[in-house]
Structure 1
Amino acid sequence: MTDSEEAGPMADADVWDSIDRLHAWLDANRAHGGREGLLLRMLKLSEEVGEVAQAVIGATGQNPRKGTSHTWDDVQSELCDVVITAMVALRTLAPDAREVFMAHLAGVTERSLGASSTP
């Protein structure tokens, strides 16, 4: 199986196209624009991270009133929502979000793994 087959129906190249489309859809359907809309889009990240926390608490049964209310698949799904929301937020701030992200990822990789991390 190739890497692209393992990635599923959406190839890596399609990710940023999807983010662009989601960004456009959100902009066309937003209730608030300008600075307020920008801030609300950034705050959406906090909401999504809270949903990760809720799913982890539910998956571990830490709330005695609710018991085990979530699965680790739910946690994975919520983490994906965080990633998508962050990518859309980045796209909101930077039309060239793909390049901004790739440059930042390269810097973090270099800083964390050193020069041996580059092919």
Structure 2
Amino acid sequence: MSDQDPDIWSGIEDLWAWLDSHSPGDGQQSLLLRMLKLSEEVGEVAEAVIGAMNRNPRKGASHTWEDVESELCDVVITALVALRTLTPDTREVFVRHLARVRERSLGPGPGPRPA
């Protein structure tokens, strides 16, 4: 990661804190709404893909593949903010889960690297 790249985890923490300070509801309601927001964002990915593939006869080519990229990023951000709403250990939970998914999909890694 270069010096110009934002730190994903501090960015997620900042967004979570901002949302938390602007949420009108209690913890349970905020959690539910953040989970529902994820479904909304996934729907926007689908809309962008349909538009990029020119598959909506009413709208035509309404989106680009760059729009799809942007919508996918919104899904990732929304999911990580929702995860942060569940646990302050967002990074550790995510990294641990990613390791399990990688091992399940790719098999065990080569083991520790020699020093």
Q: TM-score, normalised by structure 1?
A: 0.88
Higher relative contact order (CA 8 A, sep 6+): 2
Which residue, out of 21, 25, 41, partners 2:14?
21
Cα deviations across residues 29-75 of structure 1 (Å, max 9, x unaligned)? 11222211210111100000000000001001111011000000000
Larger proportion of helix: 1
Task: State how far apart, in whole Å, the 2-side matches of 1:100 and 1:75 are.
Answer: 27
Unaligned runs of 5+ in 2: none
Q: Note the aligned Cα RMSD (angstroms).
A: 1.5
Which residue, out of 5, 12, 17, partners 1:10?
5
Map 1:1-119 to 2 at 5 A: 4-5=1-2, 9-11=4-6, 14-116=7-109
Identity value in percent: 65
Moved over 2 A (4+): 116-119
3-state SS in 1 of match to 2:5: coil
3-state SS in 1 of match to 2:109: helix
Unaligned runs of 5+ in 1: none
The number of residues matched between the two structures is: 112
Q: TM-score, normalised by structure 2?
A: 0.91
